A and B are shown apart, each in its own frame.
Chain A
């Protein structure tokens, strides 16, 4: 059969190859389907052990205040908990819907949940699906509340700790929180009713998308 194939004019040969490729494609599944992926476990192990994937809460607070929004901040918790309080600028994608989301593989993504357990799971899911840049918020929502919204001044502060605390006071005011003084146990405050501001779409990537027409 191969000799017959080679004898055919070039047009017919290309046509037959095309038909074969098309036929195989029927069984290959949709390229847009996000529910399955092939994972390179060796690579993934290397990546998860090698790089530093955490974002510090203070850095994040800084970015939000400065209006730096070249990332997507994702809240992995359930929607009701999200609606009670979330970090400004975040979007709610409960972790069970993460594989279905509109997150793009080339975006900078920061995940957070109550602590680091769920966000680490989210990190792994995204990295296995070949997302390029994924970070988790160090300490999650607990750390955010502890350090940014309700910063604590220890009982006997050093000069350095005092200076740091002054700065943190300004930051926490921005987020509607309250600084805590002394080492006493404070009553669990009612979390301030901070409505997350509408999603700021000033990222350069989005501007470019609108001019990709023909």
Chain B
């Protein structure tokens, strides 16, 4: 196993920051290419007129998921060394709801707001300022809500472990769900387009 390269000591912290910068360029580039610098396009997801948020996110998730699985299978990547967040179930569900509401009101999420600022959108700047404010409020409230935020700790658990189902089977189901979702999304877009043409 030679990857993840950083965890096996192939380069040090300083270089990892350069790596971050380069990966960030790729990240921002594709986000903007997909139109994620535009709040109107992002919000259109929630009105079924343009489902690209769903399409891009789940295509990316499925691509990386398949990639990690197979690279690990042929022994190039040590999947146990790849970090992902711990699960704090209720806090994440609650936080997700709040973030979703903020998403449709403000029109961005943290990553896309950076892209929108980079392409000159003033509302992106205001949104990011709001983001700072929201984080500040959280920081101030933290001592009071610490218990809830750190509750339902389940560790670095993944779905196959939780449901005790074969990892590959979950992978397969996720792919099927994604393709089903994309088909439904395309259909939804067509319906909305027809509706607007009729108006």
Contact = CB atoms under 8 A, between A and B. Distances in A.
B70 interface: yes
Contact of A18 (B72, B168, B175): B175
B7 A30 contact: no
Nearest to B158: A32
A145 interface: no
B176 interface: yes
A26 B83 CA distance: 23
Give the interface centre of A18, A21, A27, A31 by most chain B CB atoms within 10 Å: A31
Interface residues of B, number: 32
Interface in B67-94: 68-70, 72-73, 75, 78-81, 83, 85
A41 to B, nearest CB: 14
Interface in B124-174: 160-161, 166-169, 171-172, 174
B75 A132 contact: no
Contacts of B176: 19, 22
Contacts of B168: 22, 24-30
Contact of B85 (A21, A32, A214): A214
Contact of B69 (A15, A25, A213): A25
A23 B79 CA distance: 20
A104 interface: yes
Contacts of B99: none
A22 B171 contact: yes
A26 B169 contact: yes
What 6 A-B pairs have minimum CB-CB distances, sorted nearest first? Answer: A25-B168, A22-B172, A22-B175, A31-B72, A26-B168, A30-B167
22 contacts: A15-B179, A18-B66, A19-B176, A22-B176, A23-B172, A25-B69, A25-B169, A25-B171, A26-B172, A28-B73, A29-B167, A30-B160, A30-B167, A31-B69, A31-B72, A32-B79, A32-B161, A38-B75, A105-B8, A106-B78, A130-B75, A214-B85
